[in-house]
């Protein structure tokens, strides 16, 4: 049996909400646990070269977030500024 351990996300921008700067994240995959151990499932269309690079770095930060319970009406990436970049401000659209 496979068990989802983490959502894999990258920061793609920022926005303002109630005068506070929040980050936009794009879900690009998941870390799953299977009978042979953990593995990464990465979205085949994700291109790291398309992620904004304002600091001119040669690397990319990929964040792991514990999935949220979908039954509670929250997106799998939930709070902490992990919003779907295709959503309009204030929308909580699940990935």
Per-domain residue ranges of the chain: 3-72
List, in order, residues 6 or more apart from 27 with CB less than 8 Å away.
Answer: 7, 8, 9, 43, 76, 77, 84, 95
Q: pTM (2 decimals)?
A: 0.67
The two three-digit tokens of residue 78, written as one number? 């939930």
| Residues 47-59 pLDDT 10s | 999 999 988 999 9
User: How is 4-58 classified by DSSP, letter by letter?
Assistant: EEEEEEEEEEEEEETTEEEEEEEEEEEEEEETTEEEEEE-TT--GGGS--TT--S
Query: In this predicted structure, what is the pLDDT of residue 40?
Result: 96
The two three-digit tokens of residue 93, written as one number? 């659209």
| Residues 13-29 pLDDT 10s | 999 999 999 999 999 99
């Amino acid at each position: 049996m496979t068990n989802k351990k983490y959502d894999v996300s990258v920061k793609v921008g920022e926005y303002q909400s109630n005068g506070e700067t929040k980050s936009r994240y794009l879900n690009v995959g998941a870390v799953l646990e299977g009978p042979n151990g953990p593995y990464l499932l990465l979205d085949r269309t994700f291109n790291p070269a398309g992620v904004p690079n304002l600091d001119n770095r040669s690397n990319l930060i990929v964040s792991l977030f514990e999935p949220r319970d979908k039954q509670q009406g929250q997106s799998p990436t939930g709070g902490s500024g992990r919003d779907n970049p295709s959503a309009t401000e204030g929308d909580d659209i699940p990935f």
